[in-house]
Amino acid sequence: MPSLPPPAPPLVPLLLLCLALSRAAAAPGAEQEEPWCPYKVRGEGGGGGRLCFRSPARGFQCSARSCRSHRSAGGALVANVLRNGSVLVQWGSPRPSAGLRGFALNCSWDGTYTRFPCESVELGASCRDFLLPEAHGGVRYRLCLQPRFAPRRPAPPAQCVEFRPQPPAMRDIVVAMTAVGGSICLMLVFICLLVAYITENLMSPAVAAPRRP
C-alpha cells in the first residue's frame, strides 16, 4: 500500500502566529525605521503644497572640512551647514513619543529691519531629518521644530537653531588664498634650501683656500 504524504500544516495557526509577530513588532516603545520620510512644503503665503517623499540621511556625520554644525539651546535640533550651500537639519525622537503625529519645521531669516518668513515644512512622524537644498550665504537663518501630538496631549516647546551660511564668494576666496599661501610657502622653502646649498658648496671653498707665496 503506497504511503500517504504528510498532512499540510493547518492554515489558521500559521495566520495567528504571523499576526502575533506583527503585533510584537509594532508594540509601543519599539521605534521602527521607515524607508521614506513624507513631507509637505508650504510657501511663504501658507498655501498647501503637494505630498513628497525623501530618503532619510541615516549615519550622516558632519566633517570639519566640508560642514559646520549648529545646535539648538536644548541640543535636540542640529543644523549641518554644508560647503555646497545646502543645510541638513537633524533631530531626535521626542520623549515620550506616544501620540506623535508629525513635525512642523518653520524657517525665517533676518532682513535689514525685520524678520521675513521662508518656506515651512510639515513632516511625518517617522522623519528625523530634512534637507534645505539652497541657503543664501551671509543671511542669518532661524529654524524652529515643533512636534505635533494628538489633541489630548499638549506639545512641548519648539527647538530653534540659528546659523549663517558662508557666502559662496567668500568660500572661493578662502580656497584660493589657501592654495596661493601653500604655493608661496613651498617656494620660500625651496629658495631657502637653494641659498643654503650655494652658501655651503660654492662660497666656502673659495674663502677657505690657502694663499700662495
pTM (two decimals) = 0.61
User: What is the distance between the alpha carbons of residues 93 and 77, in angstroms, rounded to a whole number?
Assistant: 10
Q: Give the C-alpha separation, 100 to 94, whole Å.
A: 8
Strand boundaries in 99-212, DSSP class E: 100-110, 115-117, 120-123, 129-132, 141-149, 159-163
C-alpha pair distances (Å), 22 with each of 13, 18, 30, 69: 14, 6, 12, 39
Q: Using pLDDT thresholds of 50, 70 and 90, give the confidence band for residue 3.
A: low
Give the separation between CA 36 and CA 155, rounded to whole angstroms: 24
Note whether 135 and 85 are within 8 A (CB).
Answer: yes
Q: Whose CA is closest to 111, among 142, 78, 88, 80?
A: 142
| Confidence label for 15 from pLDDT (cuts 50, 70 and 90) | very low
Angle ∠(32,132,120) on CA atoms, nearest 5 = 85
List pLDDT tens digits, range 38-58: 999 986 555 567 889 999 988
Task: Quickly count helices (H) and strands (E) in the chain.
Answer: 3, 11
Q: Could you read off the pLDDT of 135-172 as tens digits, one per residue?
A: 888 889 999 999 999 877 777 889 999 999 887 654 45
Whether the Cβ atoms of residue 149 and residue 155 lie closer than 8 Å to each other: yes
- Span 69-93, pLDDT tens digits: 999 998 899 999 998 889 999 998 8
